[in-house]
Chains A and B, each alone.
Chain A
Amino acid sequence: MKIPARQIKSSIKSILEKHNNDHGMLVGILQDTQAELGYLPKEAIMEISKQLGLPLTQVYSVATFFKAFSLKPRGRHQIHVCMGTACHVRGADRVLDEIERELGIKSGAHDKDLRFSLETVNCVGACALGPIVVVDEDYAGEMKPEAVKPLLAKYK
């Protein structure tokens, strides 16, 4: 579903005001934009460039450099599977495989109903309890492949 241009323009205007139109806060501006719009549509990146007076190439390069940003629409629920070392040695790969199998998608994508987006993340700092899967703001620790289905079932 395309977000109306007017909505994008006004969202960005208020986000930039909040950050005092500070160029240095570009990463923060992009984060707030993504939090509000769900992802970073092309129109939003162009609007930020226009309103902030920054070259489009710079805004685009920052938006594509940092893993936190998505230039494609994301699912209603964000799944982040931690692939940090501590989680890796405790079998995070197998948990990721199971989620990919269950949803029929690979990490970096969303399922066809836009219910879930699946991403890997390099360490959320709950290393003692790996493998960790974060869904939206909920942390699930000591995950095993067999716990994947019940976990995903909680999120419509």
Chain B
Amino acid sequence: MNKLCSTQELDALRQSIIKKRNVKKTVVNICGGTGCMALGCIDVIKAFHEEVKKQGLADKVEVRATGCPGFCERGTILTIEPSNVFYQKVRKKDVAEVVEKTLSKGELVERLLFPDMNTGKRIENEKDVPFYAKQTRLLLANSSQIDPENIEDYIFFGGYSAMAKALNSMKPEAIIDEVKASGLRGRGGGGFPTGKKWESTREAHGDIKYTICNCDEGDPGAFMDRSLMEGNPHSVLEGMIIGAYAIGSHEGYIYIRNEYPLAVKNAETAIARARELGLLGKNILGSGFDFDIKITRGGGAFVCGESTALMASLEGKVGEPRAKYVHTSEKGLWDRPSNLNNVETWANVPLIINKGAKWFAGIGTAGSKGTKIFSLVGKVRNTGLVEVPMGMTLREIIFEIGGGIPGNKKFKAVQTGGPSGGFIPEKMLDLQVDFDELTRVGSMMGSGAMIVMDESNCMVDMAKYFVNFLLGELCGKCVPCREGMKQLSIILTRITAGEGKMEDLALLENLCNTMKEASLCALGQSAPNPVLTSLHYFRDEWEAHILDKKCPAKVCKPLITYTINEKCPNCGQCIKVCPEQAITAKGKKQPVELNQEKCIKCGSCLDVCKLNAVDVK
């Protein structure tokens, strides 16, 4: 393909792509994202290619591996054009039937349609599936129809038109004004006004400025950036090019965490394709603006999600943050003005340029504009990516979109904001999701991870989990975080082992407040949030661990005991699975005996017993 040298040439290419695609062909779009990979989508995609060929449909049916549509619970997902039929939980063994019945004859395979949770009725179209119906998909809109390796798919949906508009008919200052007026705030966790950040970087002294995309996405439970970078990498590139032009930067970096190999691959492919078309590199689209992007990978360090640590890593140093009284917009990478934004923030930019700041500001709440992608995971029926306007309540997200708690268990808490965020209890489920509201209750928006917990999760164990997570990830530079986190871990371990004292609670609060005030970076400053919110909203569980030496959720191993009750008919299943040979048969029709000294409380016997003969106290 030749390089495009003007907006007109881009438009002409788009028209020719649209013309090509309007041929009445059936397309089967299959999710090729990492989530579905864990459910065998690679085999499904391969099987479709083979089966379509085998059944002689190769000239009538196109098989497309797409980005992640986000309904991971139901993977492998596929949607069919033009009928919009939505199939879920597709496995390799289903492919031949789908090709023969649906693709060839237009008949439905009922068992692959999504069943309505209440009526059991099978739903045919994607737009009617409740998980999707209540979402407002702006960023994820086209993921299930775009092959991330094919730039033409992106262009078909209007891709790069915002960039053309910005570079060829807008001044940098006007672009910044537009982003400021939109009210866009950073989607990585900080929530800093994006337009303001761009403005500071533009105004900073220096000819060399850097444009950086943070795809480190370290918050466990968050995978929206993974989905965007894997599934629609061009949307991020387009945003970055517009931003770089506005700031006056010619060099860009996308920092992708090491654990996302598919995102790295697809981003590299996207950059290569964009360069070929002259949408990246010298004289982009004939505008005279030069900008190119390099991909760098993380090394497995959560702290490198922090902007100054990320930049240190880009300089070949260890990921140690520095104090931010000098902003990175003035002195960042290599001490030069640098603008760093999160993947989702960048992906919002083309929408704002194309549809206008007013449109964007019309979505969301007074302080939080636009949509946000949340990763709804944990103890919830419909796990996956949920894109909704800011201001929707937690209850709507978790129960109406998420389908509530599986297995008839009771909701206990939702954790937002990753290791920097806090737990929110049931009584606050009507809270509107918004940067400021979440901070007000002791949590934060963070990257958008939303982890749902039920009655079988222990809130003290969860606090300990986050502290230990951060203990392994902190850089070690400053005393309050390095020493404080260690002490938090020691105290929490004692409490979950039944060796806690009531004085520990006051000590914990004291330690937490010190860390909040005195830590060098946000990792240490926000680490207390899970501990403090757990203590504040679930104090009864902490007191049970300390005063009664009990774990009400039956999680903390030193505080629980497994016993066999009289329902046991000596079937012997548990004896087979016990890794410590702690269970012995006592005789025919007599319950088996569990040796408490040998028992490591692994739960294998509980899993295998179908007769409710294993009790956990």
Contacts and interface: CB of A to CB of B under 8 A. Distances in A.
A84 B298 CA distance: 17
A76 B316 CA distance: 29
Contact of B383 (A98, A127, A144): A127
Given A27-B296, A27-B313, A101-B579, A85 B259 contact: no
A146 B607 contact: yes
Contacts, number: 170
A89 B38 contact: no
B132 to A, nearest CB: 15
A62 B320 CA distance: 11
Interface residues of A, number: 49
A5 B513 CA distance: 52
Contact of B299 (A65, A97, A145): A65
B307 interface: no
Contacts of A86: 220-221, 375, 377-378, 383, 449, 451
B180 interface: no
A142 B579 CA distance: 22
B604 A145 contact: yes
Contact of A85 (B75, B220, B297, B383): B220
B316 A54 contact: yes
A31 B226 CA distance: 20
A1 B263 CA distance: 34
Interface stretch (A8-16, A109-117, A132-140): A132-140
Contacts of B434: none
Categorize the interface residue count of chain B: 35 or more
29 contacts: A23-B315, A25-B296, A27-B299, A28-B296, A58-B317, A62-B316, A62-B317, A66-B298, A66-B318, A66-B319, A67-B299, A84-B220, A85-B418, A85-B451, A85-B465, A86-B377, A89-B379, A89-B457, A123-B221, A123-B222, A124-B34, A125-B35, A125-B222, A125-B227, A126-B72, A128-B35, A129-B38, A130-B377, A132-B38
Interface of B: 34-35, 37-39, 72-73, 75, 217-223, 226-227, 258-261, 296-302, 313-319, 334, 375-379, 383-385, 415, 418, 449, 451, 453, 457, 462, 465-466, 469, 472-473, 475, 577, 579, 602-604, 607
Given A123-B218, A128-B383, 8 more contacts: A24-B314, A67-B299, A83-B220, A85-B378, A125-B217, A126-B38, A129-B38, A130-B377
Nearest first, the 3 A-B pairs at minimum CB distance are A66-B299, A84-B220, A128-B72
